[in-house]
Amino acid sequence: MNNRTWQLLRLLADGGFHSGEAMGRELGVSRATVFNALAEVADYGVKLQRIRGRGYRLEAPWQCLDAVEISRCLGDCAARFQLEVIQQAASSNSELLQRAVRGAPSGSVLAVELQTAGRGRIGRVWHSGLGNALTFSLLWRFECGLNGLSGLSLAVGVAILRALRRFEAAGVGLKWPNDILAEHGNSMVRGKLGGVLIEAQGDMYGPSAVVIGIGLNCSLPTVLERAITQPAVSLKQLCVKPPTRDQLLAAVLQALAAVLDEFARDGFAALRGEWERYHAQQDLPIQLQMPDGSLVKGIARGVGDNGELRLETAQGMRQFNSGEVGVRQ
Question: Domain 67-277, CATH 3.10.290.10 — does that match?
Answer: no
Residue 328: the pLDDT is 61
What pLDDT does residue 126 have?
Answer: 55
What pLDDT is stored for residue 206 in this prediction?
83
pLDDT the model gives residue 9 = 93
Q: Residues 128, 215: contact at Cβ < 8 Å?
A: yes
Distance CA 101, CA 201 (A): 9
Q: Which pLDDT belongs to residue 116?
A: 78
Between β-strands 118-119 and 316-320, what pairing exists: parallel, antiparallel or unpaired?
Answer: unpaired
Fold topology of 3-58: Arc Repressor Mutant, subunit A (1.10.10)
User: Residue 172: its pLDDT value, please?
Assistant: 95
Nearest residue to 142 via CA among 271, 260, 254, 305? 260
pLDDT of residue 43: 75
Residue type, 238: L
List the chain domain ranges: 3-58, 67-277, 281-327
Cα 82 to Cα 71: distance, rounded to the nearest angstrom: 10
Quick one: angle between helices 20-27 and 3-11, nearest 10? 120
Per-residue pLDDT of the chain (329 residues; tens, 9 = 90+): 888 999 999 999 988 999 999 999 999 999 999 999 999 888 777 888 999 999 999 987 888 999 999 999 999 999 999 999 999 888 899 999 999 999 999 999 999 998 876 555 445 555 567 888 999 999 999 999 999 999 999 999 999 999 999 999 989 999 999 999 997 655 555 789 999 999 999 988 889 999 999 999 998 865 555 556 678 899 999 999 999 999 999 999 999 999 999 999 999 999 999 999 999 999 999 999 988 889 999 999 999 999 999 999 999 999 999 888 886 64
Q: Which fold has domain 281-327?
A: SH3 type barrels. (2.30.30)
Residues in the chain, how many? 329
**Beta strands 82-89 and 55-58, pairing class:** unpaired
